[in-house]
Amino acid sequence: MSSTSRTLYVGGFGSALDAHELRALFSRHGTIDQLRLVERGDASVAYVTFERDTDADRARRQIDGLQLAGRTLRVAIAK
């Protein structure tokens, strides 16, 4: 299993969520190995790496397109 299939790119949340809130949202779907928040003002992104690729896939399917604080989360397998 490559770490790429376990790592998700998360965008679209701007400054609406912090690292703690992102971890709480994604950890519902499995054990998180690492969460990296890249703050770029209103265009912040995050990379979430799960212990298992099946958990990453489930989180992607459940969270992609979710509306939070007036924003639409975008979740994809990280490249």
Where do the domains of the chain lie, and which CATH numbers do they carry? 3-77 (3.30.70.330)
Distance CA 71, CA 6 (A): 24
Q: Beta-carbon neighbour count of residue 69 at 10 Å?
A: 11
State the pLDDT confidence band at 1, using cuts at 50, 70 and 90. Answer: very low
pTM value surpassing 0.85: yes
Distance CA 39, CA 66 (A): 20
Q: Which pLDDT belongs to residue 4?
A: 55
* Region 36-62 average pLDDT: 93
Q: Beta-carbon neighbour count of residue 1 at 10 Å?
A: 9
Distance CA 70, CA 1 (A): 35
> Phi, psi at residue 46, to the nearest 5°?
-140, 155
Q: Which pLDDT belongs to residue 69?
A: 83
